[in-house]
Each structure stands twice: as C-alpha cells, then as structure tokens.
Structure 1
Amino acid sequence: MATDTSMRSSAPVGFWGPPTSTIDWCESNYEHNYYIAEFWNTISNSLFVLLGLYGLYRSIKMGFEPRFHLQFIGVMITGFGSAMFHGTLQHVYQQCDETPMVWSILAWIYIVYNNEIEQIPMQNASTYVIAFLTTIGAIFTVVHAIYRFTTVFQVFFGILAVLGAGRLCMHYAEVKDPRARAVARSYVTSSLIGFAFWMMDYHYCHIVRGLPVNPQGHAWYDYCSGSLLCRC
C-alpha cells in the first residue's frame, strides 16, 4: 500500500522535510529534484491546469452558463493543489488537493443533474440545490481541515462520482448521435484505465517497487483524468 510506513521511513528527505501527509505515493521521494518530493506526480498535474484554462476560455467564448465556468475553474484549482501536495507531501497541501476535488465534483453533480433540477415542481429549486451542495462542500471543508480522514474522503468522493456516473449512463441511453456515444465510450475507457493505475499505485506499491522501472501509476492516473476534460 502507498502509505506503508517502512517505505516512508527509508525515503530521502528533501527541501520540504519529512512527509506529514496521510498518503505517500509509490514514486520515490526526491529522486529527481531536491525541491520536488514526487517529480512525475507533480508535473503530471500541469495537464489539469492547462486543459482547465483552455476549457474556461472555450466556455466563456461560446457563451456557456456560469456553472461550466465554475467547473473548469475548479479543475484548475485542483491541478494546482494536487501539484502542491505531490511536490511537498505535506498534510496542509494534501488538503489543497482533496478539498478542491470535492468542490469540483459537487459542481459536476449540479451540471449533470441540471435537467432534473429544472423539472422539480418548486419555485427557485435550482437555488435551493445550489445552497444544499454549497453547504455540503462547506461542511466537508471545515471537518476535513480538522480531522485526517483519508478513507472517509475517498468513500465520500467515490459516492459522488458514482452518482454522477449513473446520470451519465442515463444520458448515454438517451443520446442517439453516434459521435456523442463514441465520446461517452472513450470517457468511460479513460476512467477505467486511470482507476486501474490509481489502484496499482495505491494498493500494490510493494510489487511496483520490485519492478526494474516504476511505471509511475499515479502520474498516468493524472494523465487519464486530465484527458477526460478533452471529452467533456
């Protein structure tokens, strides 16, 4: 597992000092740069920032609704936060990664369920839903800043991801355009490949580190996740 303390204790200490994060990924610490704890995991997040910036530009240029602008801004913030986390392996910056992830997926939930929200027979239903999702994000932010609950975060994020993915499956069944369906299939493929890399890096680090070359599974997970933006 990526958090194996025996692996952590034997890791070299660089500019940011010993790791204080609850997760230390399978990439060897400070192997390539004295100032960057996990080099490949850090630079791979540039894809989130660049594609998020491009998506925001296109969203504004094409006159999309503000909810789409917010989603791309969240992606960029997550990219910066994740780079800070992997670059330092300090707990405070781990929160800068995980907290924006939750806010971003809450915005995504609002986007994919927007049609259903507009059909709610209640005045200002959209405003109430936004307030509800914002409250969830605020509560998570405060509690996450106080307690170290990596597993709770992963379960919570996973539940939100499943809720969003379920609605996407419904969209797939409703859409008949072959190009749109091809985009959906490539989206699912990238998601599954990225998740497989994440699982390998997180749960099977003891095997990965025995290989002649570290495949940098988490960096590939970042690449697959970032490439999803090209399909959205």
Structure 2
Amino acid sequence: MADGMSSFWGPVTSTHEWCEPNYVYSSYVAEFFNTISNIPCILLALIGLVNSLRQRFEKRFSVLHLSNMTLAVGSMLYHATLQRLQQQGDETPMVWEMLLYIYILYSPDWHYRSTMPTFLFLYGAAFAIAHSQLRFDIGFKVHYALLCLLCLPRMYKYYIHTEDKSAKRLAKFYVATLSIGTVCWLLDRLLCKDITRWHFNPQGHAMWHVLMGFNSYYANTFLMYCRAQQRGWDPKVKHFLRFFPYVKIQKPKAQ
C-alpha cells in the first residue's frame, strides 16, 4: 500500500493479490491498472453486441457479448476491492462464460437440443453454489483451464473447415492474443518478487486483461462467422473504423 493512502474497502480478503502495489492512486481502487485494463473488454463486447443485435444474429451471441461485459465488470470490482465476495463475482462468471462457449461450439452437432443447455445450466448453478461456500485457488485455475481446453479442439475444427482468409485470420488473432496474454499472466504471477525490484512494472496482469478483451472479441466474431456459414447467411468479414472486424451477413428473404 502507498504511504499515507488509506483503504476504503478494508483488509484484503481475496485468496490472492496480483503484482501491483495496492491503493497507489486512490483509496477506492486497490489495483489501479488491473482495474482500468478491463475497459477495452467492455467496449469491444459492446461493439460485438451492437452488431449482433443490428443484424439479428441468434440470441446466443447477444448473451455471449453480454457475458463478456459482465465478466469485465466483475473483474473491475474484484481488482478495485480485493474482497472475497467480489472475487467470486469475477471467477464465477468466468466459468459461466466458458460453459456458454462450449454450448455455442458443440450445440450444432448435438441431436438432443434440450439436454445440453439443461446440463450446462445445472453445472453452472452447482459451481456457483460450491464456489460461494468453498475457497478455491489452484483447483479453480485447473478447472477453468480444463474448460478452456474443451473448446480448443472444436475451434480448430472450425478453423480447418473455414476457407475464407479473413475469417481464418480472426482465428489466428485469437490464438496470438491467447498465447501472448498467457505469457503476460505467467510472468506477472511467477516473477512478481523480481518485478517489485524493477524501476518499471510492466503490469503483466493488466496486459492480460487487455489481450483477453481482444481475444474474446476475435473468438466471438469468428464463431459468428462460422454460425452464419452454417445457416447459409453468406457471411463476410468487414472492418469498423478500418480496424475492428465484424461479420456482415445476408439472410435469405424467407428468414
């Protein structure tokens, strides 16, 4: 904690902190950079949500973009307060979001339409209850990593069956941001004692937030393209402000 700076939220009750000094810039924000670094994720999710609603994509994609925004807000509250309750508000939506990705990735080939969403809903509810009563640390990270790994084979399948170069580029950006972000997360976590002695803190966890915001955006856009292709909506990858990719579709008149 910075000298002379008091803590509005009281003692830290979360299971762990990150490699950023607490309450340096404000008595209301514990980890300043880890808090504001979630803003790009919210803005990118908002762009995706507007495009999803404007072109009348399936509701699952609107829910997915809203899930990204909810997760970013939960992360902001957690890093701003470093309280156990807010930590749960960050980690539980992380699991819910991955369950939603699993549904979107695997549901097109699932023959029993009601069983998958029912199972995933019950699983998410059971996890939320367990997480509210038990303190997870390494167990949560392993559980979350396994959910992520369940998504990767399906993403790869979609990638190899996609011929459009612009759409494949989205998948490549997804892999690149995930890889670089993971390195930033690991460096911040494993080298924190060394970093605290440096004159400059590279803010690896904050960089992880920014990269994961773009990662989610690229993943969502790629999945929207793949789903539109499955529905025969003639998808094309366009760019907003010449930088932000989005999917433009042309639905048949019957739809």
Question: With structure 1 as the length reference, what TM-score do the two structures score?
Answer: 0.89
Determine what percentage of the aligned residue pairs are the same residue: 38
Match of 1:104 among 93, 97, 109: 97
Q: Is the 8 A contact 1:13 1:29 kept in 2?
A: no
Partner of 2:13: 20
Structure 1 window deviating more from structure 2 (87-96 vs 197-206): it is 197-206
Counterpart CA distance in 2 for 1:14 and 1:110 is 41
| CA distance 1:152–1:13, shift in 2 (3 Å) | farther
Deviation at 1:137, TM superposition (A): 0.3
Counterpart CA distance in 2 for 1:53 and 1:145 is 29
Partner of 2:43: 50
Deviation at 1:13, TM superposition (A): 5.1
| CA distance 1:13–1:150, shift in 2 (3 Å) | farther
Deviation at 1:55, TM superposition (A): 1.5
Partner of 2:76: 83
Deviation at 1:188, TM superposition (A): 0.3
Partner of 2:129: 142
Match of 1:179 among 132, 154, 166: 166
Q: Which stretches in structure 1 are left out of the alignment for 5+ residues?
A: 1-7
Q: Is the 8 A contact 1:26 1:216 kept in 2?
A: yes
Render the CA deviation track for 1:15-68: whole Å, top value 9, x for unaligned.
111110001000110111111000000011112222222221211111111111
Structure 1 segment 190-201 matched on structure 2, within 5 A: 190-201=177-188
Deviation at 1:230, TM superposition (A): 3.5
Structure 1 segment 1-232 matched on structure 2, within 5 A: 14-117=7-110, 120=111, 125-231=112-218, 232=221
Q: Is the 8 A contact 2:68 2:216 kept in 1?
A: no
Counterpart CA distance in 1 for 2:72 and 2:22 is 20
Where is the helix percentage greater, Structure 1 or Structure 2? 1
Q: Which stretches in structure 2 are left out of the alignment for 5+ residues?
A: 222-255
Render the CA deviation track for 1:144-202: whole Å, top value 9, x for unaligned.
00011121111111111011112111111111222121111111001000011111112
Q: Is the 8 A contact 1:103 1:137 kept in 2?
A: yes
